[in-house]
């Protein structure tokens, strides 16, 4: 049976002001599927995610969520539909860890305590800082809080921007493991990364270069592609 498309990005273009960064980009994330967006620094990964979520205006093309055109829907309305976007700065430094978690489900606090317990089960380190300001957390702990906020939100679609940037291999593994928890819950994900560790959780890989899609295929196809392999999986 064919999987239902959760996110469809069709010939999408966006950028900052008059500067166009993303050119005619198309992608599809199906239900229970993870798409890994690879690309070097400056390739346009973050810009594409910000364009999809509505932080940057569309200069062309469309974005569809569960079949509905959401290209010009307000950001907060997209979030209420179940789309969650997370970047490394997606925390409120001057608020406590618990308040940060609360903000992820502020519109629906049903089973808030159970969800918090679940986050602390996945990230026991965070529990120690429950009532402390997030500004006191280390880089790795902040990333845990970002993922913790995603677990609280229980999104219908997760857009995650470079979850491993600046993290040690140990923390990166911890983050991928926590994303596997989300994957087991059936959450469709679009993850932008430079780290190929994340291919563990992805069914599909897409590569961006200078704002254009230069590769799109399955994870195994990406590994077989010579150019992609040498650029992202190491020369061998």
Binding region for another protein (CB under 8 A) = 53, 55, 74-76, 79-80, 84-86, 89-95, 99, 102-104, 106-109, 153
- Nearer to another protein by Cβ, of 78 and 204: the residue is 78
Which residues have a Cβ under 8 Å from the Cβ of 69 and sit 6 or more positions away?
62, 63
Dihedral over alpha carbons 129, 134, 140, 146 (to 10 degrees): 110
Give the shortest CB-91-to-another protein separation in angstroms: 8
- Nearer to another protein by Cβ, of 40 and 108: the residue is 108
- Nearer to another protein by Cβ, of 33 and 161: the residue is 161
Structure tokens of 172? Answer: 């990166």
**CA pair distance 109, 113, nearest whole angstrom:** 9
Give the shortest CB-75-to-another protein separation in angstroms: 4
From residue 26, give the alpha-carbon distance in Å to each of 11, 179, 204: 5, 24, 13
From residue 184, give the alpha-carbon distance in Å to each of 71, 74, 150, 181, 196: 29, 29, 14, 5, 20
- Nearer to another protein by Cβ, of 159 and 228: the residue is 159
Give the shortest CB-199-to-another protein separation in angstroms: 26
Give the shortest CB-231-to-another protein separation in angstroms: 31
């Amino acid at each position: 049976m064919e999987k239902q498309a959760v996110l469809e990005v069709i010939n999408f273009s966006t950028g900052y002001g008059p500067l166009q960064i993303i050119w005619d980009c198309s992608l599809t994330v199906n239900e229970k599927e993870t798409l890994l967006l690879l690309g070097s620094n400056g390739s346009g990964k973050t810009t594409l995610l910000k364009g999809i979520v509505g932080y940057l205006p569309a200069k062309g093309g469309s974005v569809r969520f569960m079949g509905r055109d959401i290209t010009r829907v307000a950001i907060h309305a997209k979030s209420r539909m179940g789309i969650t976007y997370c970047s490394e700065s997606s925390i409120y430094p001057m608020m406590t860890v618990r308040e940060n978690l609360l903000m992820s489900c502020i519109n629906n606090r049903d089973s808030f305590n159970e969800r918090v317990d679940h986050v602390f089960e996945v990230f026991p380190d965070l529990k120690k800082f429950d009532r402390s300001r997030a500004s006191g957390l280390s880089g790795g702990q902040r990333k845990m809080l970002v993922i913790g906020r995603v677990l609280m939100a229980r999104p219908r679609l997760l857009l995650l921007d470079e979850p491993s940037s600046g993290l040690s291999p140990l923390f990166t593994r911890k983050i991928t493991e926590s994303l596997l928890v989300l994957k087991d819950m059936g959450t469709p994900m679009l993850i932008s990364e430079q780290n190929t560790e994340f291919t563990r959780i992805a069914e599909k890989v897409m590569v961006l270069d200078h704002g254009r899609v230069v590769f799109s295929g399955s994870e195994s196809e990406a590994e077989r592609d010579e150019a992609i392999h040498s650029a992202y999986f190491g020369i061998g």
